[in-house]
Amino acid sequence: MAGFKGGYGGGFGGGNMQNLMKQAQKMQQEMAKAQEELLDAEVTGSAGGGLVEVRVNGKNEFLGISIKPEAVDPDDVEMLEDLIAAAMNDAKEKADALSKEKMGAFGAMGGLL
């Protein structure tokens, strides 16, 4: 046992832990940047061949709606309601896809940071 110096040799803590912390910090910064990009992004969902368009950001926050005059029929309000709902669903699907694209790289790690 002449060569045994005791201790753990610094293999578990020290540099490895520091590298892990740096990687976690970098991932957290990248995730914050991706979330900011989602807030700045705008997607448009449409229905009725563009008669109704709904704009949302990448976080599914409603930004606005555009309804062409020909979509407004006082005798068929239900159709307009259906077009609005369809456009909102289309926008939501697009925003979800964008969010998955931007945030998917972080996977389960996102919940740890």
Residue 36's pLDDT is 85
Residue 17's pLDDT is 85
Q: Which residue range forms the structural domain that includes residue 89?
A: 14-112
Number of structural domains in the chain: 1
Cβ partners under 8 Å of residue 87, min gap 6:
45, 46, 47, 48, 52, 53, 54, 65
pLDDT, one tens digit per residue, over 7-48 is: 555 555 567 888 888 888 888 888 888 888 888 888 999 999
Q: Is pTM, for the whole model, over 0.85?
A: no
Query: Is residue 66 in a domain?
Result: yes
Token pair 């790289």 is at which residue?
105
Query: Is residue 3 in a domain?
Result: no
Residue 6's pLDDT is 52
Say whether pLDDT at 113 is over 50: no
Query: Is residue 6 in a domain?
Result: no
Strands (DSSP E) found in 34-107? 42-47, 52-57, 62-67
94: left (phi over 0), alpha (psi -120 to 50) or beta: alpha
The strand pairing partners of 66, in sequence order, are 53
Query: Is residue 7 in a domain?
Result: no
Distance CA 97, CA 80 (A): 26
CATH of the domain at 52: 3.30.1310.10
Sign of CA dihedral 50, 51, 57, 60: negative
Query: Is residue 50 in a domain?
Result: yes
